[in-house]
């Protein structure tokens, strides 16, 4: 937990907002549990049909924006089919990344966070061959899709998108002491810094609300 003199605490208003997000969680729970169950039942990517189902339902159901980043293949759903085929063709690599997350569970700790950052970076690189050249030139990545896709396979993985990042940066003002481990060579830099901030929020939220988990914090950040 955070040391007693920490400056990272949630105000009464922020706690009330967190409590409201928790109260609203049942409205989102069916979708989320459906995605969790899909990934539990079909954890790997050797089955092409299962890979397609996961890519399509997670990619669109969680508003990852992945289709805008992919090389156009023509036809309705062509880009998503290509992404599923890419993961299927590289199923040994994809499944090895997911296997590295198997020991990670909540409550989070620093070892688990580092493993998550490494796995996320490796998964982002795995997706690079199917990204548009313009995306690569701008040094963008599929970091949001990667975080949400990995989260559905391992719910301890913090979810990332521009909305959660922006709110988290407003909630948690950066301090150098937040860098509790060095950036792994495999890491996506933006996600690495996001996770370090998220770790502070995670601890600050769980101190007064021990039942809060990664998914509930994502709902809070989206409010």
Q: Return the domain boundaries, the chain.
A: 12-221
**Mean pLDDT computed over 83-97:** 97
Element (H, E) at 39: helix 26-41
pLDDT score of 140: 75
Q: In angstroms, how far is CA 200 from the centroid of its own chain?
A: 16
Please tell me the pTM assigned to this model: 0.94
pLDDT (tens digit per residue) in 189-215: 999 999 999 999 999 999 999 999 999
pLDDT (tens digit per residue) in 31-41: 999 999 999 99
CA gyration radius, the chain: 17
């Amino acid at each position: 937990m955070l040391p007693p003199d920490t400056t990272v605490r949630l105000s009464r208003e922020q706690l009330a907002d967190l409590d409201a997000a928790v109260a609203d969680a049942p409205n989102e729970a069916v979708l989320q549990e459906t995605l969790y169950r899909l990934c539990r039942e079909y954890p790997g990517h050797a089955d092409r049909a299962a890979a397609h189902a996961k890519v399509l339902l997670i990619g669109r159901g969680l508003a990852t924006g992945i289709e805008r980043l992919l090389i156009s293949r023509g036809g309705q759903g062509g880009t998503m089919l290509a992404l599923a085929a890419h993961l299927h063709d590289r199923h040994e690599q994809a499944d090895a990344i997911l296997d590295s997350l198997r020991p990670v569970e909540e409550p989070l700790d620093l070892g688990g966070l580092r493993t998550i950052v490494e796995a996320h970076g490796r998964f982002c690189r795995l997706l690079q061959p199917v990204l548009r050249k313009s995306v690569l030139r701008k040094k963008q990545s599929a970091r949001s899709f990667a975080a949400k896709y990995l989260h559905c396979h391992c719910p301890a993985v913090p979810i990332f998108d521009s909305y959660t990042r922006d709110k988290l940066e407003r909630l948690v003002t950066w301090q150098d002491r937040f860098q509790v481990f060095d950036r792994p060579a495999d890491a996506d830099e933006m996600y690495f810094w996001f996770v370090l901030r998220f770790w502070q929020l995670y601890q600050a939220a769980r101190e007064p609300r021990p039942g809060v988990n990664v998914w509930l914090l994502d709902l809070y950040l989206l409010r």
